[in-house]
């Protein structure tokens, strides 16, 4: 029996954080999920750790933070499988164009993308990027491919972008993201 199949008192959300300036918002997201009584594990890309430290997420989630495929671990169980199995929902927020492209094409070269490939839990993606990157035909094709495979994609917002421009590409609001996670958690209980 996998960890995910065991009866749990509270839902477990695995939060993937990628290398976007919006990574700082993920810290608030963890805080809000914990306030709802959810167990949260964070898996970060190396680029995400350039924006927010793993210690921030460890403190807020009260769980160890996954940062690499080859980090030392306490048990024998491969870390990406452990995260994949414990997830009731896997949320990637913010999700860069790079990570969406890896997901769309089945690339697994870091802890986060290996975990995404290994999980059977529903996956939600909250993209965040420059407006030109969001509008690029490759990104649009990757979004369509991910949706066709059952990935729940939360639309980007419009407004001021970190690059100094205005347009589509902002990560959706935290309330919208939380509502989507809550909705999927309800569906998985049925």
The pLDDT tens digits of the residues spanning 110-125 come to 999 999 999 999 999 9
* Euclidean distance between CA atoms 148 and 17, whole angstroms: 23
The predicted model scores a pTM of 0.89
Token reading at 77: 């169980």
pLDDT of residue 7: 44
Domains of the chain, residue spans: 12-189
- Distance of alpha carbon 23 from alpha carbon 11, whole angstroms: 23
Q: What is the pLDDT of residue 73?
A: 57
Instruction: Find tokens 């035909």 and name the residue.
Output: 137
Q: How many residues does the chain have?
A: 190
Cis bond before residue 94 (omega within 30° of 0): yes
Residue 66 near residue 42 (C-beta atoms within 8 A): yes
pLDDT of amino acid 161: 73
In 20-164, DSSP assigns E strands to 39-44, 65-66, 89-95, 123-127, 152-153, 157-160
Q: Looking at domain 12-189, which CATH architecture does it have?
A: 3-Layer(aba) Sandwich (3.40)
Residue 167 phi, psi dihedral angles, 5° rounding: 160, -170
- What is the set of active-site residues? 163
- 47: buried, middle or exposed (CB in 10 Å: 19+, 13-18, 0-12)? middle
d(CA 18, CA 47): 6
Displacement of CA 138 from its chain's centroid (Å): 21
Tokens linked to 31: 């805080």
DSSP letter at 156 equals P
- Residues in the chain, pLDDT under 70: 1-8, 70-80, 190
């Amino acid at each position: 029996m996998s960890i995910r199949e065991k009866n749990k008192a509270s839902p477990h959300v695995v939060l993937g954080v990628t290398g976007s300036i919006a990574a700082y918002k993920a810290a608030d997201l963890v805080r809000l999920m914990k306030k709802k009584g959810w167990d949260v594990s964070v898996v970060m890309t190396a680029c995400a750790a350039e924006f927010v430290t793993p210690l921030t997420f460890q403190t807020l989630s009260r769980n160890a933070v996954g940062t690499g495929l080859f980090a030392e671990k306490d048990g024998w169980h491969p870390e990406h499988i452990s995260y994949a199995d414990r997830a009731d929902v896997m949320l990637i927020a913010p999700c860069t164009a790079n990570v969406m492209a890896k997901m769309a094409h089945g690339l697994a070269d870091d802890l986060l993308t290996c975990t995404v490939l290994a999980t059977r839990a529903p996956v939600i993606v909250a993209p965040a990027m420059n407006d030109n990157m969001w509008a690029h035909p490759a990104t649009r094709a990757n979004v369509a491919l991910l949706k066709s495979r059952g990935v729940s994609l939360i639309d980007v917002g419009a407004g001021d972008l970190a690059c100094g421009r205005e347009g589509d590409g902002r990560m959706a609001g935290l309330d919208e993201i939380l509502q989507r996670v809550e909705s999927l958690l309800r569906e998985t209980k049925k």
